[in-house]
């Protein structure tokens, strides 16, 4: 009985060491895949990935495209996430629509899930609801935000 328990332990040791090798290989291949998947228009911040397809469209169009892909429109919740979206705007030389609007209540900007925003980076003088028609938010190449008409066409950036 003692012998068979011993051989079971040594078998398990072999199995664990095989699994460790497989995990290491998987980690290496995942690290490489992350680089591939975020080249050139993607940025990772913690567990969040921001990425563009380079497509430009109006707010409703892009909101749908991100949802259909299993993500949502970029909604930077802190300075590091905002800087990641800014880098994408700079790379493509195009402002980006964020997943933030005051469609529900004028002047109260919320995420698409209805929560009030926890972070903002407004350009001086914004949001100004210019002509009374600006319920969406664009992020400029300098990282600052401007409220803008949702019908304008801007670069799509989704987050996953
Ligand atoms: C406007 C200005 C304004 C901003 C508006 C923009 P336009 O651009 O940049 O400062 O608040 O959202 O639409 O109409 O003068 O080209
Ligand atoms: Ca504005």
Task: Say what the ipTM of the complex is.
Answer: 0.94
Q: State in Å: Cα 56 to ligand 1 middle.
A: 19
The average pLDDT across 46-67 equals 98
Domain ranges, ordered by start, for the chain: 1-37, 42-159
Atom of ligand 1 nearest to the CA of 128: 11
Atom of ligand 1 nearest to the CA of 138: 12
User: In this structure, what token pair is assigned to residue 148?
Assistant: 């803008």
CA distance 45 to 75: 12
Average pLDDT of the residues of the chain: 97
Which CB contacts under 8 angstroms, 24+ apart, belong to 116-119?
A: 118/77, 119/76, 119/77, 119/78, 119/79, 119/81, 119/82
Q: State in Å: Cα 23 to ligand 2 middle.
A: 50
Q: Tell me: the pLDDT tens digits for 81-92?
A: 999 999 999 999
Closest C-alpha to 121, from 88, 151, 85, 93: 85
Q: pLDDT tier at 1 (50, 70, 90 boundaries)?
A: low
DSSP assignment string, 2-18:
HHHHHHHHHHHHHHHHH
Q: Tell me: the pLDDT tens digits for 70-83?
A: 999 999 999 999 99
CA distance 131 to 134: 8
Query: Which CATH code is given to the segment(s) 42-159?
Result: 3.10.100.10
Pocket probe for ligand 1: among 130, 140, 147, the residue whose CB has the most ligand atoms within 8 Å is 130
CB 107 within 8 A of CB 141: no
Pocket probe for ligand 1: among 122, 128, 138, 146, the residue whose CB has the most ligand atoms within 8 Å is 146
CA distance 98 to 73: 6
Q: pLDDT tier at 143 (50, 70, 90 boundaries)?
A: very high
- Examine the pLDDT at 2 and tell me if it is beyond 90: no
CA distance 49 to 34: 10
């Amino acid at each position: 009985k003692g012998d068979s328990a011993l051989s079971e332990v040594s078998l398990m040791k072999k199995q664990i060491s095989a699994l460790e090798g497989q995990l290491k290989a998987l980690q290496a291949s995942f690290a490489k895949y992350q680089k591939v998947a975020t080249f050139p228009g993607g940025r990772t911040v913690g567990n969040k990935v921001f990425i563009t397809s380079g497509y430009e469209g109006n707010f409703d169009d892009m909101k749908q495209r991100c949802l259909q892909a299993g993500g949502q429109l970029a909604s930077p919740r802190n300075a590091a996430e905002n800087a990641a979206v800014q880098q994408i705007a700079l790379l493509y030389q195009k402002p980006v629509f964020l997943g933030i609007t005051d469609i529900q209540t004028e002047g109260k900007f919320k995420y698409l899930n209805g929560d009030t925003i926890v972070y903002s980076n407004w350009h001086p003088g914004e949001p100004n609801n210019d002509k009374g028609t600006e319920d969406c938010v664009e992020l400029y190449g300098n990282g600052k935000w401007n409220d803008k008409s949702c019908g304008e066409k801007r670069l799509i950036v989704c987050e996953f």
